[in-house]
Amino acid sequence: MSRPLLAVDAPSLYFRAFHGIPEKAAQTAAGEPVNAIRGFLDMLAQLIRTRRPDRLVCALDADWRPAWRVELVPSYKLHRVAHGAVEEVPASLERQVPVLLETLAAIGIPAFGVKGYEADDVLGTLAAGQPGPVEVVSGDRDLFQLVDDARGTRLLYCGRGVAKLEDADEALVLAKYGVEARWYADFAAMRGDPSDGLPGVAGVGEKTAARLIERYGGVEQIVAALDDPDAGFAPGVRAKLDVSRDYLARALPVCRVATDVPLPDFDPVLPGSPRDPEALFALAERWNLAGSARRLVEAMAA
């Protein structure tokens, strides 16, 4: 069996590391927190040891709240805005991200975002365009829509951490949500997602959304069926969907992960040793990362 490409949702993992490891437990000699960096590198090491990829790419949020999504649904991620268009991020995490990116560059692991797109969109484009198998690593459930058994695309869902990954194929998505992976974005648009500022259709929860998709197909098919008096909708559900036509037309493209992002040139091949050992050594010394860097390098060489 071919070895996979690991397509890693970097913000998902470094936020998880930052919140999962106390700052006082991972600091430099000067008291600077490095919990997000150490946790991220350790998670990568564990993923490499257990998944045995031969390629690895980290996706970043070049634009965490793209204007085109906000234009469609103005409430999209609005509750997470600190000021202007800036995401609310703890200052001690924000200071760690550039060091993490320097460390990944020294190791030789590509990490990039694309202007106007989120990390999810970079991951969707990698899943659609790179030779399979592709294993997407994220704690973002929106990425269940990328699961495709025919293409060999799986989601390693780390909602409970990397040590408790859910290795999602199409059967798992269907069992978990009652919909096929190809309809997950439609399901999310109807159900809504408070964490992303998506209200959903009032009065339509997960079970109703799944039943509608099972009977009619995706949002476009469901909305088209509303005009058929014999389509069999319960009167209350028909009314809720009818007043939500405009919302659904705008929310569906917001929920869909882009798969045609213009990616920069990159080499996904996972190196067997650090690309710039001197730079890595200097970073490890300066930021007290020796243990985590060593574990990652050992995993790469194994």
pLDDT, one tens digit per residue, over 160-175 is: 888 889 999 999 999 9
pLDDT of residue 71: 97
pLDDT of residue 81: 85
CA distance 89 to 82: 8
CA distance 192 to 202: 9
Written as six digits, the tokens of 55 are: 């390629």
pLDDT of residue 85: 67
- Which residues in the chain land under pLDDT 50? none
Sheet holding 153-157: strands in order across? Answer: 111-112, 55-59, 5-9, 134-138, 153-157, 166-168
Architecture of domain 5-179+258-301: 3-Layer(aba) Sandwich (3.40)
What are the structural domain ranges in the chain?
5-179+258-301, 181-255
The helix or strand, by DSSP H or E, that contains position 111, with its residue range, turns out to be strand 111-112
Instruction: Evaluate whether 5-179+258-301 and 181-255 have a shared fold.
Output: no
Superfamily of domain covering 181-255:
5' to 3' exonuclease, C-terminal subdomain (1.10.150.20)
Q: Where are the alpha helices (DSSP H) in the chain?
A: 10-20, 35-51, 67-72, 91-94, 96-107, 119-129, 170-177, 184-191, 206-216, 219-225, 235-242, 245-255, 277-287, 290-301
